[in-house]
Amino acid sequence: MKEVYPAYMTIATNIQLYKKGWWIKVSPLARKDPECWVCAIFKKGKFSWITEECKDFDDPESAYEWAWNRICEFIKNENNNL
């Protein structure tokens, strides 16, 4: 049975984010109990990638969901400031 993932967890969405200058990185921390995942949101600058925000989560799904929502907020704010 094929699992269905939310839009923010697909490869196509990640490629679209990359093309718009955004990247999400979710990594486990070296800790067994409780498990912890760190999530960073990056934005492409003129010369390098810049960390916009970073936050810890109990699971990777929550991390991706948070990052996706924050990037949507960043993009909305950018568009409002044009």
Domains, the chain, ordered by start: 7-80 (3.30.160)
pLDDT (mean) for 50-60? 95
Model pLDDT for residues 21-40, shown as the tens digit of each residue: 999 999 999 877 888 999 99
| Closest-CA residue to 54 (of 31, 30, 79, 27) | 27
Confidence band (pLDDT; 50, 70, 90) for 81? confident
| DSSP per position, 25-75 | EEEE-S--SS--EEEEEEEE-SSSEEEEEEEEESSHHHHHHHHHHHHHHHH
Structure tokens at 6: 């939310």
pLDDT of residue 7: 63
Taking 70 as the threshold, does the pLDDT of residue 6 lie above it? no
